Structure 1
Amino acid sequence: MRKDAQINQQKILDAAANLFKERAVSKVSMKDIAQVAGIGTGTLYRNFPNKSELCMALSLDYIQQFITGEEAQLQNPSSSANKQFEDFLTRWLEFRERRIQLLTEIETGPSVMSTFYHSPLYQQLVNLTMQALKPISDNISKAELKFRADMLISMLKSDSYAYQREQGLTREQIAINISHLMIKRCD
């Protein structure tokens, strides 16, 4: 990428991040972002065809940081497998909650999610989730473990999570209830 294009892209990301701190993501237009970045709307759309793509670019570093931190957590278990899984879920929900507006914009975007599902970063997220699930999953196949990881990530998308919060559940209660779905009980 040309140096001036990199500079413009960084201006756009910085402007969007600042605007998203001031106002809800849904209340910020692409025109607002271009204006604050000091660039034309054409330049903005050449870099990011829609707000969902822009939100994805802002989120990539956050997601990578979460994955890196959780890999370290899972390497050093300090409690039972069940408790470790509940803690992983709680941290994932906390991460999602802090970035709910960006993630909602990504999840409702026209083409972003299909691109994300095929990205190396999504595969890292699936692998991380498989790592969290494995100790509580008895002797299931790798394919079933991957399926569970995909489904777990899917069931924790913003709209589903927000609905459960509207029902009065806390983040911790949601993590415990999901754990009960995922952990094979031998009562």
Structure 2
Amino acid sequence: MNAVTQREQRPERPDAARNRAKILAAAGEIVRARGVDGLAMADVAAAAGVGVGTLYRRFGDRSGLAYALIDGRERHFQAAFLEGPPPLGPGAPARDRVRAFLHALVDRTAEQLDLLLMAETATPSARFGGAYAAYHAHLSMLITEAAPGADAGFLADALLAPTAAPLFAHRTREGGWTTERVTSGFDELLDGLR
């Protein structure tokens, strides 16, 4: 077992939990006041009353801090599509769930776009971490149910592509697209899914 796995299994110390909460509150306030570009590790550490080393040990870098800020909203979103009410959650036909999922994902992406942009562009494969894997598995399962015989894995990637933060930011900020246009485009694609 490696050190990361051992550390993940240990419960968080109360002082570490307090520091984490202070850091995330300070970082959230800085993002609200200055935007993501104003998120400097030294400023976050000073606002939280912790050392910069503590911040780097805990989050690694700005993208790690961005992921931590994204985490609460992401957990809420995943709970909604895994166990929430239909049509986003279980209990609706698969096609309806795919549509509801994609519409909710567009809203979720728009809500934290700058943080997602920072997090997803930190490394070449940063986008394809935990949340993407969960989305892909969820969509693949629903597509398989809705269209047996379809290449569910490919279709899941194709449906997730427009919500990649760099493309979403480019289309909505520079291309003038609205979230309604993106969801409407998804609706057109899904109408062709047989």
Q: Which bracket does the TM-score occupy, shorter chain normalised?
A: 0.7 to 0.9
Partner of 2:188 in structure 1? 180
**Cα gap change, 1:185/1:51 in structure 2, threshold over 3 Å: closer, same or farther?**
closer
Alpha-carbon distance, 1:88 to partner: 2.8
User: TM-score, with normalisation over the residues of structure 1?
Assistant: 0.79
Two-structure CA RMSD over aligned residues (Å): 2.7
Check conservation: 1:90, 1:175, Cα contact below 8 A: yes
2-side partners of 1:8 and 1:178: how far apart?
41
2-side partners of 1:14 and 1:139: how far apart?
46
2-side partners of 1:95 and 1:185: how far apart?
24
2-side partners of 1:169 and 1:111: how far apart?
25
| Correspondence 1:105 to 2:118 | yes
Give the one of 22, 40, 46 matched to 1:29: 40
Partner of 2:20 in structure 1? 9
Higher normalized contact order (CA 8 Å, seq sep 6+, divided by chain length):
1
Check conservation: 2:39, 2:62, Cα contact below 8 A: no
1:106-126 C-alpha deviation (Å, 9 max, x unpaired):
011137716x62x3x443322
Count of equivalent residues: 178
2-side partners of 1:179 and 1:43: how far apart?
46
Which residues of structure 1 form unaligned runs of 5+? none
2-side partners of 1:56 and 1:84: how far apart?
26
| Correspondence 1:139 to 2:148 | yes
Q: Which stretches of structure 1, 4 residues or longer, exceed 3 Å deviation after superposition? A: 83-87, 131-136, 178-186
Alpha-carbon distance, 1:53 to partner: 0.4
Task: Write the letter of the residue equivalent to 2:43.
Answer: D
User: TM-score, with normalisation over the residues of structure 2?
Assistant: 0.77
Partner of 1:75 in structure 2? 90
Alpha-carbon distance, 1:155 to partner: 3.3
| Correspondence 1:124 to 2:126 | no
Task: Write the letter of the residue equivalent to 2:67.
Answer: M
Q: How does 1:14-93 map to 2 (within 5 A)?
A: 14-71=25-82, 72=84, 73-77=88-92, 81=95, 85-93=98-106
**Cα gap change, 1:93/1:49 in structure 2, threshold over 3 Å: closer, same or farther?**
same
Give the one of 177, 182, 186 matched to 1:169: 177
1-side partners of 2:193 and 2:106: how far apart?
23
When structure 1 is superposed on structure 2, of 159-168 and 26-35 the one drifting more is 159-168
Task: Write the letter of the residue equivalent to 1:157.
Answer: A
